[in-house]
Every structure is written in structure tokens, then in C-alpha cells.
Structure 1
Amino acid sequence: MEEKMKHLEMIQGVINRMASNSFMLKGWAVTLVAGIFALVGNDNENIYNIIAYIPIIVFWGLDSFYLLQERLYRGLYEKVRLLDNSDIDFSMKATEAEFGSEVNNLFSCIISETELYFYFPLAIFCTIIIIFS
């Protein structure tokens, strides 16, 4: 039982890091978008307005990747949880081929509620600021 608990703790540590990375990326996305608008100021050139969307797109993709990794490791956690103690091999391999499903793919993570409800309103907010500036 000790081996199973150690393996589950290792997997849980990875899941926690993925969730922490996702939280930090959301903070960085807001900070960079606000910083871009602060630096641009009242300059109404379209190129500066388009630059504000770049962090949103990049961080949305990266955040979705971390969400996918977190979901894959949750699948590994479930697999290890159900294993017998004698079958524990301390493998940390969580691939999309083994744990992928309809919800465990990148596109599903991109349109997940946690991603869509954060990054889409941020993009709408940028659009509103661009229109009114």
C-alpha cells in the first residue's frame, strides 16, 4: 500500500503544478493585455490594437495545453488508484493515446468552460476598449 500512496502523491504533485501554471497564465494574460493598453495609450494605430490579442491567443493555447496535461494525469491517477499494489511501477507516462477521450483532447480543452469563460470575455473586453478608444 505504501508504494501506491507514494505513486499517487507523485501524480497529485504534477496535477497541482499544472493547475498552478494555469492560474499563473491567466494572471499573466490579464497583466500583459493591460500593459499593452497602458503602453499604447491614445495611439489609435490598428497594429497596436491587434497586438493586444496576441497574448490572449498565446496564453489561451498554452493554458489549454496545461489543462489537457492535468486531465491526462487525472486519468493516470485513476488508473493507478485501481491497480493492485504488486502492479505499481511508478510510471508517470500520461499520454493522449492512452488516456485521451472526447474530453481529453486539446480542442475540448480550448472550448472548456474554464478557458472559454476567461479568455473569450477578455477578448471581448479588448474589442470594446479598441472600439471606444
Structure 2
Amino acid sequence: MSNNEKSDTVYSQYFTIIQVVINRMAQNTFLIKAWTITLITAILVLTFSIVNSLIFGVLLAITVIFWVLDSYYLKLERIYRRLYKTKVEEYNDNQKRKSMKLFDMDYEPYKILEQKLPRIMISKTEILFYLPVVGALICFLIISIILMIQ
């Protein structure tokens, strides 16, 4: 194996490692969404006969906590995508490739470039999932109050 081929293999392994991290972050956001729906549904089913605003407060708190956590992993995924893109560009530029740090996973320089967490929380992908969940919880609260009054 020539020195150049070995070098290409090492770069390929490095890019694969970054891609694995990106996939893990994407998987985390998927699991968080699944857990959000599972917990809310389970609590609603178990406490449906008990009309209590405290339960809905807990459900809203759970939703917000998972929303923040989901947005955090989405932010990390985007940061690692920037890292990946930058490293591929460095690899394709022969001058930059010589000074490129292999297996450097430091994402701090890319953190500044990414949006802040509150901005990510109101991004389209997050709002389209969490806003209907919050809306459904509010509707359940209103319906349960109306049923309790009657």
C-alpha cells in the first residue's frame, strides 16, 4: 500500500467517525420525540379519570424539557455537520490538507457559527412537532375542565 493510499484510508476513517457522531445525534433526537409521545400518552391514559391541572402542568413541563433536550441534540448535529463539511473542504484543498489535524473532533470553533438554543427551539422542524403536542395538551385540559363542570 502506498503512502498516499494509506493516507486516504486514514482520512476516510476520520470522516466515517464524524458521520457516526452525526447519525448518533440524529438518532437521539428521534428517540427524544418518541419518549415525549410515549410519556405523555402513558400519563394521560393512566390519569384520564383524574381531572387535575397539576397533571397537565407536569405534562407541559415534560414536553418543554424534552423540547429543550431535542433542540440541544439538533444543535450538536448541526455543529458536527459543519465540522464534517469543513474537514472535507480541507481534505480537498491540497494546501490545507498538509496542516489538517486528523481525528480532531473539537467542535468549539463551529459552535459560534451555529444558532443559539432558543432559536433552534423555534425552528421549523421543532415547532412542527412540539407545538401540536402543547396544543393537544391544552385542548385536553380545556375538555377535562368542561367535563368536570358539567
Same fold (TM over 0.5): yes
In structure 2, the residue matched to 1:62 is 69
- The separation in 2 between residues aligned to 1:68 and 1:45, in whole angstroms, is 35
Q: Which moved more, 1:38-47 or 1:123-132?
A: 38-47
C-alpha distance in 1, partners of 2:119/2:129?
15
Q: Which residue in the other structure is 1:50 paired with?
A: 57
What pairs up with 1:45-124 in 2 under 5 angstroms?
A: 45-84=52-91, 85-86=97-98, 87-95=100-108, 97-101=109-113, 103-124=114-135
Please identify runs of 4+ aligned residues in structure 1 that moved more than 4 A: none
Count of matched residue positions in the alignment of Structure 1 and Structure 2: 131
Counterpart CA distance in 2 for 1:25 and 1:45 is 26
Distance 2:9 2:119 in 1: 35
Which of the residues 23, 33, 37 maps onto 1:26?
33
Contact between 1:4 and 1:80, CA under 8 Å: does it hold in 2?
no
How far did residue 131 of structure 1 move? 0.8
Shift of 1:99: 4.0
Gapped regions of structure 1 (runs ≥ 5): none
Q: Following TM superposition, by how much is the alpha carbon of 1:98 offset from its aligned partner in structure 2, in angstroms?
A: 3.2
Measure the CA separation in 2 of the matches of 1:111 and 1:62.
Answer: 13
For structure 2, which runs of at least 5 residues remain unmatched after alignment?
Answer: 1-7, 92-96, 145-150
Q: Distance in 1 between matches of 2:58 and 2:139?
A: 15
RMSD: 1.4
Percent identity of paired positions between Structure 1 and Structure 2 = 31
Output one character per residue of 1:96-127: Cα deviation in whole Å (capped at 9) or x when no partner: x43433x5321221111111110111000111
Q: Distance in 2 between matches of 1:15 and 1:54?
A: 28
1:126 lines up with 2:133 in the alignment: no
* Larger-gyration structure (1/2): 2
- Report the TM-score, using the length of structure 1 for normalisation: 0.91
**What amino acid does structure 2 have at the position aligned with 1:7?**
Y
